[in-house]
Amino acid sequence: MFESNEVRADTSTKSVLDTLDSVKELPLPADFLWGAATAAYQVEGGAKQDGKGPSIWDEFSHREPSVTSGEDGDIACDHYNRLAEDIALLSSYGVDVYRFSICWSRLIPLGGRHDPINEKGIAFYNALIDGLIAHGIKPAVTLYHWDLPLELHKRYGGPLNTTEFQADFEHYARLCFSRFGDRVKQWITFNEPYIVALFGYHSGILAPGHSTKTGHDSTTEPWRVGHSLILAHAAAVETYAADFLPSQKGSISIVLNSDFYEPYDATSESDQEAAQRRLEFYVGWFGDPIYLGGDYPESMRKQLGSRLPQFTEAEQELLKNSAPHNTFYGMNHYTSQFAKARSTPPSDDDHTGNVEESTTNSEGVEIGPLSGVSWLRVTHKQFRKLLNWAWDRYKRPIYITENGCPCPGENSMSLEQAVDDQFRVRYFGLYIDAISQAINEDGVKVAGYYAWSLMDNFEWAAGYSIRFGITHVNFTTGTRTPKRSAKYLKETFQKRRTAVSNGEAVNGKL
């Protein structure tokens, strides 16, 4: 999750809920997995403990003047020191899976393939993995959730240097496979490469903060970074498939985030094309080379020309060989928008496919009710369409690796009000209904749902001003308090899956 400021609600909870559809509690397959997700920098803390090296987020969040509301992840949720408590919390929620990320610089403080390994960092993640398994929880591990070792950024620009970055990431991935792969059966290489490339190297609102305003080239850097992430992913997948898959028998893939796009004017052919083109620039940018083992979408080649890197013959071969081993599609999704074709030529730094985005269409209809942040509206119907779009294009079983929302006004609420998060409960219920519809009515293969997030945490550039957790966190004391949504998720997955396994109908449907 990323960006934007909290929206202050001036209406009652009931009136806000009245704007949302009703939940149908539709059924899910008996083997459907559910869990909760976090990211290392957002929850761990322990910024300088036990030999951890700094990441680009450690540097970015301490810049002066502040770019993160004067807040940082030095302590965050103090997950590093409250491991047993948080595993017990997960167990009490009845999750099947916990998706977390490994901090690269906690394992290799300087990050490089010739740099020393920090065994205390290895020990922390071993304790986490073993603790989860002891409680019957499957670990799903993300190797990279935005926290590049700072030293690699200083040495060669991180993913701006494809050759060096690919080699160092493959080495880091190999270390993780060898130390943890006997127990980890679901691996994710990169979380949201789209955000890494554009928010880190175009707008500069996330680490490392590159933009034209900071003297960098936003017309080329995002595409070079994206290229590096794709090839580093492919190298890690090839390594896993060749050297670890036969004995460990796990799965590996990447997580791509995306809004869904509806045409601004449903009767306009140009807006219909714009909606498709926007998805290609958003998802196809990474999905086509990775899952299809080919090139970037033609719409990107046509608009970007020489600014979009070419794959060499060796790189094309790597993509083709690794494509079959991308065994699932990881989808992070929160909201949707309308897409309107621009009538003027694209700017040199355009990354949208020359598309104007809007939350209202040509008739003035909003795409969905507003949540607790300005960029996130409740758009469960479009979520179902995105599931279909991804399945039709890539034909990989889908795991929803992030989905959630903040409640309107949540950060200004009392503890009693905040834990009674009925807006979030309704949001979850509607999006899980959409998954059921996609599976049972559309034939889409969706295998799991990991709610974002296990707990309120450091929300990147927004600091602690936005709360996505199903657990309330007091950032002064560290106290965790379960919210209504945690209970709802536990009960709804038990109900929906039990009904199917028993052959019973839920609300008249099977």
**Could you tell me which residues come within 8 angstroms of residue 31 by beta carbon, excluding any fewer than 6 positions away?**
447, 497
Sign for the CA dihedral angle at 92, 98, 102, 103 comes to negative
Rounded CA separation 383/432 (Å)? 10
Q: Which residues pair with 190 in a beta bridge?
A: 144
Candidate list 164, 315, 402, 459, residue with the active-site label: 402
How many C-alpha atoms does 322 have within 13 Å on its Cβ side?
A: 26
Cβ atoms within 10 Å of 359's Cβ, excluding its own: 17
What the block records as the tokens of 171 is 């080495």
**Could you tell me which residues come within 8 angstroms of residue 272 by beta carbon, excluding any fewer than 6 positions away?**
263, 266
Q: 3-state class of 329 per DSSP?
A: strand
Candidate list 192, 221, 262, 280, residue with the active-site label: 192
> Which of 399, 454, 498, 436 has the alpha carbon at shortest distance from 185?
399
Rounded CA separation 41/79 (Å)? 10
Which CA distances in Å does 421 have to 60, 304, 332?
Answer: 32, 44, 21
Long-range contacts of 11-18 (CB under 8 A, 24+ apart): 11/408, 13/420, 13/422, 13/423, 16/369, 16/408, 16/423, 17/422, 17/423, 17/426
The owner of tokens 């080379």 is 289
The owner of tokens 């959630």 is 404
The CA radius of gyration of the chain, in Å to the nearest whole number, is 22
The owner of tokens 């322990």 is 46
Residue-level length of the chain: 510
Orientation of helix 484-501 relative to helix 422-440, angle to 10°: 20
Query: What secondary structure letter does DSSP report for 409?
Result: T
Rounded CA separation 445/132 (Å)? 26
| Catalytic status, residue 3 | no
| Catalytic status, residue 402 | yes
Q: Which residues pair with 149 in a beta bridge?
A: 55
Rounded CA separation 211/445 (Å)? 39
> Which of 224, 236, 221, 54 has the alpha carbon at shortest distance from 148?
54
> Which of 212, 256, 186 has the alpha carbon at shortest distance from 400?
256
Catalytic residues: 192, 402
